[in-house]
Amino acid sequence: MNTNDIVKFLSKLDMFSKIVEDENKEAIRKIASLFRYKKYPKSDTVIRKNDPGVYLFIVASGKVEVLLGGNDLGITFLKAKEVFGEMSLLSGDPVGATIKTVETTGLLYAESSAFNEILDKYPPLQMYFARLLRQRLAETNKETESSMGRLKAAYKISEATHTAQNLEELYPRIQKIIGELMNAENFHIFHYDPLADMLTVSYYVNEYRELPSSAKEDFSGYVLKTQKPLFGSPEVIKKLIKDGEIISTSRTPVRFWLGVPL
């Protein structure tokens, strides 16, 4: 991306729309001169949680995933024209989430000093980032509340494993605990044999589909095979099916799916 490309791209962003209206093109050109462009390969880590905030990033092309928690649980995706890194620059706190590319991705980035210079010179951007900061904080608070709920559920499950008389008693109790966090009417616990690529059913309640036989066929098998938590938003589910990682056998479309390896 050369300077002219960056100018053209920034001119189309909502955050700079007021400047485009009120100022001449030279203003956008000056802002563009503060940005650099870099292309990242697929699955590359751009920033890590708890790193110091150094840059403001704008996605120019491709897509990145926002990951939270010790197990890097994906919570959302950011695509072209969306920004990240601004919260740590505005607050002075470390980076709050890990950002990883989902595909080959082009990013524009500006150093914190350049970001502050832009904010000082163009008041409309102060309003834009103030609104964005409020939105991000609201999302963070929501995630914190959700995390507390998951922590309480983990404690209850731990307690249940010590007090249940047998597995037949334990598994329904786990389902009930998970049901306090989300709809768990369709719930199952499998054991995965990596050599045979087979799932052994320990507990299964599902009103929509039959038991899968191969780990490649189902969301549960995918989680057990990768040993990573999966929050399947519609976008994530669509990509996994497209890539052949899973084969959905449900008679009704799966909207959201959550799985955690034990």
Pairwise pLDDT comparison (246 vs 47), residue with the higher score: 47
Give the model's confidence band at 47: pLDDT under 50 very low, under 70 low, under 90 confident, else very high. Answer: very high
Residue 141 pLDDT > 50: yes
pLDDT attached to residue 137: 72
Residue 41 structure tokens: 């390969």
Domain ranges of the chain: 3-140, 164-259
In single-letter form, the type of residue at position 217 comes to E
The label of the residue with tokens 């976008």 reads 235
Residue 78 structure tokens: 């950011």
Between 7-21, 70-84, 140-154, 226-240, the lowest mean confidence (pLDDT) is in 140-154
Q: Which range among 70-74, 154-158, 170-174 has the greatest average pLDDT?
A: 170-174
Residue 142 structure tokens: 């929501």
Residue 218 pLDDT > 60: yes
The pairing of strands 55-61 and 83-84 is antiparallel
Residue 210 pLDDT > 50: yes
SS3 of 182, please? coil
Q: How far apart are CA 40 and CA 87, in angstroms?
A: 22
Give the model's confidence band at 250: pLDDT under 50 very low, under 70 low, under 90 confident, else very high. Answer: low
Between 41-55, 57-71, 196-210, the lowest mean confidence (pLDDT) is in 196-210
Is domain 3-140 classified as CATH 2.120.10.30?
no
Bridge partners for 134 per DSSP: none
Long-range contacts for 235-243 (Cβ within 8 Å, ≥24 apart)? 235/77, 236/74, 239/102
Mean pLDDT of 154-164: 86
Q: What is the pLDDT of residues 10-41, one digit of tens each?
A: 988 888 877 766 556 788 888 999 999 999 99
**28 and 3 Cβ atoms separated by less than 8 Å:** no
